Structure 1
Amino acid sequence: MTRLPDAAWRNNAGLNALIAALGGTEGDIRFVGGAVRDTLHGMAVKDIDCATRLLPEESSRRIAAAGFKAIPTGIAHGTVTALLPSGPVEVTTLRRDVSTDGRHAVVAFTDEWREDAARRDFTINALSADPLSGEVHDYFGGIADLEKGIVRFIGDPLQRIAEDHLRILRLFRFHARFGRGAPDAAGLAACIARANDLMALSRERIADELLKLLTCPDPGPTVRLMADNGIFRPIIPEIDAAGVERLVTLIAREREAGIAGNALRRLGALLPIDAGTAVSIAKRLKLSKAATRRLEQALSDADSARALAYRYGPEVAADVLLRGGDDVEMLGLEQLTNWERPRLPVGGGDLIGMGLKAGPTVAATLQAIERRWIAEDFPGGDRVTAITAEEVDQAIRSRK
């Protein structure tokens, strides 16, 4: 019998009280999904999910009676979120699928643990654990698959993909995180055969899953596998072998620089080196305006780390430098350590005091001064005074 290790999260404030309120001693509640999987794998747990035999209305009543706030986050699908002092815990009533269309599922509640586990995508995600004894319930060989580094569909892969097309991308994400060696052959074949099904998904779901994949420690080999087998073609056909190589290089440089991997930075490396194309893809994926702007700015051809950081911020500067190809750019990263954005020591009032008329000429001259000041690495003192004098003189002469 496998038991769940006594990981730190199991002692979170309020969790034991929640378990007691929801029938822990009667076997009415279990930890499920990622919390069980990641704990068995020796990984940190971010989110705690529970499944229960109780109907959502009863779960809500008991959560509130225990002194916690109950939020009906997905009440139609049986999910209630309990707000504990240590954070949220999702509590979902056991379910079975009534019908699916590849994007949405109609569910009915059940009291059978195996039936609920059977509707999950992969064996490693179908594990559940008794919160009191720690006993892990494994109906489909998930523990063995986790130990072997195999991400395997429960049942027929083609049927599982037909139920939810996003499972194609999820297979690759979980393989990047937990897989070792080649992926499960049947699962891979099904994903390749049904890749066009991805076109039926919302762009938001695709973007969310892709960014989660790129957050994995080393998604490079998995992304290459996806590109080689045409998985991106229905959704982002612009991704090619060159983009994959840029991504692999970027990941190596992140490690070399000791900088944490960033999903948007990695996506930028994967996309074509063209600002217009990157923006078009970002809009297609319905990324936020901030994310779209970051992808666009990271394609800047500015020639120094500090110039990039001044214009776009140190985050974008790091994106550009890490995607570069030599030690000069890596040294540029060191310039960003504890760097504070300087302030141009000249203002419009100074230029008016030197003889310029308030209006567009002042703004244009100030921009010209700033461009030279950036190009010369933000000088001060006599040098910035000289630059200002030269640009003001030029502006005055051009008016005559």
Structure 2
Amino acid sequence: MTDRLPSAPWTSREDLATLVAALDSQAEGNSRWVGGVVRDTILGLSPKDVDMATTLLPEETMARLEAAGIRSIPTGIAHGTVTAVLSEGSVEITTLRRDVSTDGRHATVAFSTRWQDDAARRDFTINALYADPRTLEVFDYHSGLSDLAARRVRFIGDARERIREDYLRILRYFRFQARFGSEPADAEAEAAIQELAAGLKGLSRERVGWELMNLLSLPDPAPTIARMSELGVLEQVLPESGADGRAALSALVAHEIAEGTAPDGLRRLAALLPASPAMAEQVAARLRLSTSQRKRLATAAAREGVAGEARALAYRLGAVAARDRLLLTNQAIAELDGWECPVFPLKGGAIVARGIMAGPEVARLLRAVEQRWIEEGFPDEIRVGELLDAELAGR
């Protein structure tokens, strides 16, 4: 595998060249691209973020950015991270660090000037890759390039020790395995995970929820979710899910692909759970999902017995909720493509004008006409008038 980054659109960004010049004006080699941006570029993928590591202390980083007219934000300055606000996308710049102590959730770190120290504290070999911003030379301290070529997700150093430093690395392992890994998986990593899975209970639910949703948003997380169950991990973070949920997830992924719809983590989470809105609410609260996510998850969970016309469902629930229910119950969604939900053209005033006293009877007539309008496929206003005539005649 290459020892230089291939050319990519982000490597030619003028704002990044300005950033490099600000931090490393004398070409001292004090700053390098790091982590996912290096890994993804080597794989020919478009990186989501551009991160930089530097030997400069945070205060010096900010001073140099200010001198160059680059706005900076001390987003995590206690841990050495400064964010440079650039025209084409912000960059997180973090001072090289080494771990001093950890408690399974948080690490106490000290700043360092050695690249090897910084690489040694990262989780996986494929994430401990650095690149010179000028020459694009890749620096690999833990055989990350060979692991990347083999699609092998491997902890740096002793897997048990790395997990004990931060149990979230168990979930990160599965997310990276689902995205980059191949079979067979790293035996040492899986043995350590199976032994230490119970440590996940001590993590904040926000962190667990974030990792789980990101895993479920990948193209096909079903095999990885199945392996998490085999190793005793899934029951620690999602005990409500069982064999039926894993089968439902596999079926959903296949149906999403057949329908040409994008992966969606929340919909996949719904598949893993029993069709119980109350349980969905409990899981959403535990994982600290947003209010809108909780509502959507509960609506998707109320899918028992759902069948029928896609547009009618979309009219009642909204397009997103309708797609969720249809996909979860193996129904087609093509009728919703490009379709705009209509507005029911009949108002209560029009019924009152026909001699019906305002009150419950008007509401009943509105519901009756609306139901027939939905069943007929949302006809025009003239037909709605005819439907009202029919209802009035039948009183």
**Letter in structure 2 aligned against 1:4:** L
**Aligned runs of 1:147-162 on 2, under 5 Å?**
147-162=149-164
Question: Is this contact kept in 1: 2:273–2:280, CA < 8 A?
Answer: yes
* 1:76 match: 78
* 1:190 match: 192
Question: Is this contact kept in 2: 1:95–1:110, CA < 8 A?
Answer: yes
* 1:374 match: 374
The answer to whether the aligner puts 1:266 opposite 2:268 as a matched pair is yes
Q: How many residues are aligned here?
A: 390
* 2:245 match: 243
- Return the alpha-carbon distance in structure 1 between the equivalents of residues 359 and 127 of structure 2: 64
The alpha carbon displacement at 1:373 in A equals 2.5
The answer to whether the aligner puts 1:315 opposite 2:320 as a matched pair is yes
Residue by residue over 1:118-144, the C-alpha shift from the partner in whole angstroms, topping out at 9 and shown as x without a partner, is 110001011111111111111111111
* 1:5 match: 6
Tell me the secondary structure at the aligned position of residue 30 of structure 1.
Answer: strand
2:286 to 279, 284, 287: 284
- Return the alpha-carbon distance in structure 2 between the equivalents of residues 169 and 183 of structure 1: 15
* 2:337 match: 337
Residue by residue over 1:322-363, the C-alpha shift from the partner in whole angstroms, topping out at 9 and shown as x without a partner, is 2223xxx22xx2211110111112101112212333345433
**Letter in structure 2 aligned against 1:370:** E
The alpha carbon displacement at 1:195 in A equals 1.3
- Return the alpha-carbon distance in structure 2 between the equivalents of residues 392 and 282 of structure 1: 46
- Return the alpha-carbon distance in structure 2 between the equivalents of residues 273 and 12 of structure 1: 48
**Letter in structure 2 aligned against 1:346:** L
**Letter in structure 2 aligned against 1:30:** R
- Return the alpha-carbon distance in structure 2 between the equivalents of residues 46 and 337 of structure 1: 28
Instruction: Return 194-203 or 350-359, whichever deviates more.
Output: 350-359
Q: Taking structure 1 as reference, are residues 296 and 303 closer, same or farther at Cα in structure 2, changes over 3 Å only?
A: farther
**Letter in structure 1 aligned against 2:327:** L
The alpha carbon displacement at 1:89 in A equals 0.5
For normalisation by structure 2, the TM-score amounts to: 0.94
Tell me the secondary structure at the aligned position of residue 84 of structure 1.
Answer: coil
Question: Is this contact kept in 2: 1:13–1:85, CA < 8 A?
Answer: no
* 1:304 match: 309
The answer to whether the aligner puts 1:232 opposite 2:246 as a matched pair is no
- Return the alpha-carbon distance in structure 2 between the equivalents of residues 140 and 89 of structure 1: 25
Q: Taking structure 1 as reference, are residues 372 and 155 closer, same or farther at Cα in structure 2, changes over 3 Å only?
A: same
Residue by residue over 1:154-208, the C-alpha shift from the partner in whole angstroms, topping out at 9 and shown as x without a partner, is 1111111111110010000000000011211111111111111111111111111
* 2:348 match: 348
* 2:23 match: 22
Q: Taking structure 1 as reference, are residues 347 and 240 closer, same or farther at Cα in structure 2, changes over 3 Å only?
A: same
- Return the alpha-carbon distance in structure 1 between the equivalents of residues 198 and 356 of structure 2: 62
Residue by residue over 1:68-117, the C-alpha shift from the partner in whole angstroms, topping out at 9 and shown as x without a partner, is 11011111111000011111000001111111111111111111100011
- Return the alpha-carbon distance in structure 2 between the equivalents of residues 101 and 360 of structure 1: 63
Unpaired segments ≥5 residues, structure 2: none
- Return the alpha-carbon distance in structure 1 between the equivalents of residues 82 and 289 of structure 2: 28
**Aligned runs of 1:20-59 on 2, under 5 Å?**
20-23=21-24, 25-59=27-61
Question: Is this contact kept in 2: 1:239–1:271, CA < 8 A?
Answer: yes
- Return the alpha-carbon distance in structure 2 between the equivalents of residues 237 and 191 of structure 1: 17
Tell me the secondary structure at the aligned position of residue 94 of structure 2.
Answer: strand
The alpha carbon displacement at 1:364 in A equals 4.4
Instruction: Return 62-71 or 352-361, whichever deviates more.
Output: 352-361
- Return the alpha-carbon distance in structure 1 between the equivalents of residues 178 and 224 of structure 2: 6
Question: Is this contact kept in 1: 2:30–2:55, CA < 8 A?
Answer: yes
Instruction: Return 290-299 or 336-345, whichever deviates more.
Output: 290-299
The alpha carbon displacement at 1:210 in A equals 0.7
The alpha carbon displacement at 1:13 in A equals 3.0
The alpha carbon displacement at 1:392 in A equals 5.2
Residue by residue over 1:297-326, the C-alpha shift from the partner in whole angstroms, topping out at 9 and shown as x without a partner, is 22342522101211222222222222223x
The alpha carbon displacement at 1:386 in A equals 4.3
* 1:96 match: 98
Tell me the secondary structure at the aligned position of residue 220 of structure 2.
Answer: coil
Tell me the secondary structure at the aligned position of residue 80 of structure 1.
Answer: strand
Q: Taking structure 1 as reference, are residues 20 and 377 closer, same or farther at Cα in structure 2, changes over 3 Å only?
A: same
For normalisation by structure 1, the TM-score amounts to: 0.93
* 2:127 match: 125
* 2:384 match: 384
Q: Taking structure 1 as reference, are residues 124 and 36 closer, same or farther at Cα in structure 2, changes over 3 Å only?
A: same
Sequence identity (%): 52
Question: Is this contact kept in 1: 2:55–2:113, CA < 8 A?
Answer: yes
- Return the alpha-carbon distance in structure 1 between the equivalents of residues 114 and 357 of structure 2: 80
